[in-house]
Structures are given as structure tokens and as C-alpha cells.
Amino acid sequence: MAIFIALLRGINVVGANQLAMKDLAALCGDCGFLKARTWIQSGNVLFESKLREEAVRQKLEKALAARMGKAISVMVRTPAEMRAVLEANPFPDKEPSKVLVAFLAGAVPTDPLKGMVAPAGEQVHVGRREVYVWYPEGIGRSKLKLPVIASATARNINTVAKLVALSDDGA
């Protein structure tokens, strides 16, 4: 049995694609995942499963598509992978709420910075399956264009740290 952290793309607090976190936890239970619990209303869920990561992702995406009526991308990481993401933060001295990690389902493609426009001095660092971005003026004001993260789901470093802490407590 392994602990997994699933990050859903496009689940919102208000507007389109609303999914109550209690419903997400129940959906995970319906998938056969154990001890499912969520953190904040943005599609973060921790659980245990005997399945491998890819099978977990596929099963959860299928269940979400049936529930939501449209495809919802899911990025899955183990606690060790999430901890490594946190430890690899290339911007440790920057305000954590201004450092975003874009999680990809697979490896970062070749030439990931192609088409990037960073008008406010945003800085980007590419990881293995993640892209780190520092937004000096904040995420909400940024006009950053970075095509590689269009299919990713992003969390700030504070959220990554909290998910690591929660996974340390066990799913």
C-alpha cells in the first residue's frame, strides 16, 4: 500500500468545475482508494492505494470525467516526489506565495521555454516533471506566457509544503 498525492487541474472554488472536497474524497473511496482526505478547495487529495501511479491517475481521471461530464487532468506524486519538489525549489529566498510549481503529468518536453514571454521579470526553472516560476509582482498581476504549463496544474510553495506535511502524517 502506498500513499499518493493527486493534484487536479481546473477544479475551482467558484464558477465552472466546482467539486466539493467531500465529494472528491468520496469519489476516491469509490475508486477503491483508502483513507482519502483533501486539503483546501482546489483539488488536492491524499490517499492510499495498491495500484501504481499511472493506474491511479487513469482510474481517478476516468471517475472524474464521469462525475464532471468532461475531462479533468490529474497529476499524481508520491510523498517522496513531492518532498523532492519542495527541496529542489530554486527560489528558496523568495516569498513562497510568489513561487509556483507547475506539475506536469509526464516529463518536461524538450525546449520547454519555447514561446516564453516574461514581461515582469518572472524567472523560470525547469525540473523533471515540474516547472518552477517566481512571480516578482505576484501571480495575479503577471502577464507571463509559458506554453509548457498550459496543460499543467500549479500550486504555490506553501501548498506544496503543506501537502508534504500532510503526507508525513500518513494519508
Q: What is the pLDDT of residues 5-37, one digit of tens each?
A: 999 998 765 667 788 899 999 999 999 999 999
Q: What is the pLDDT of residues 107-165, one digit of tens each?
A: 999 999 999 999 999 999 999 999 999 999 999 989 999 999 988 999 999 999 999 99
Question: Is the same domain home to 98 and 144?
Answer: yes
Question: Is the same domain home to 149 and 117?
Answer: yes
Residue 130's DSSP bridge partners are 103
Question: Is the same domain home to 87 and 69?
Answer: no
Q: Which band of pLDDT confidence, cut at 50, 70 and 90, is reported for residue 40?
A: confident
Q: Is residue 50 over pLDDT 70? A: yes
Q: What is the pLDDT of residues 63-84, one digit of tens each?
A: 999 999 999 999 999 999 999 9
Torsion of CA 26, 32, 37, 42, to 10 degrees: -70
The confidence score (pLDDT) of residue 11 equals 79
Q: Is residue 171 over pLDDT 60? A: no
Question: Is the same domain home to 92 and 164?
Answer: yes
How many structural domains comprise the chain? 2
Produce one character per residue of 107-137: b if its CB has 16 or more CB atoms within 10 Å, e if not. Answer: ebeeebeeeeebeeebebeebebbbbbbbee
Residue 50 belongs to domain spanning: 2-77
Domain end position, chosen among 77, 108, 131: 77
Distance from C-alpha of 45 to C-alpha of 39, rounded to nearest angstrom = 6
Question: Is the same domain home to 22 and 33?
Answer: yes
Question: Is the same domain home to 156 and 86?
Answer: yes
Question: Is the same domain home to 89 and 45?
Answer: no
Question: Is the same domain home to 60 and 102?
Answer: no
Question: Is the same domain home to 58 and 109?
Answer: no
Question: Is the same domain home to 41 and 118?
Answer: no
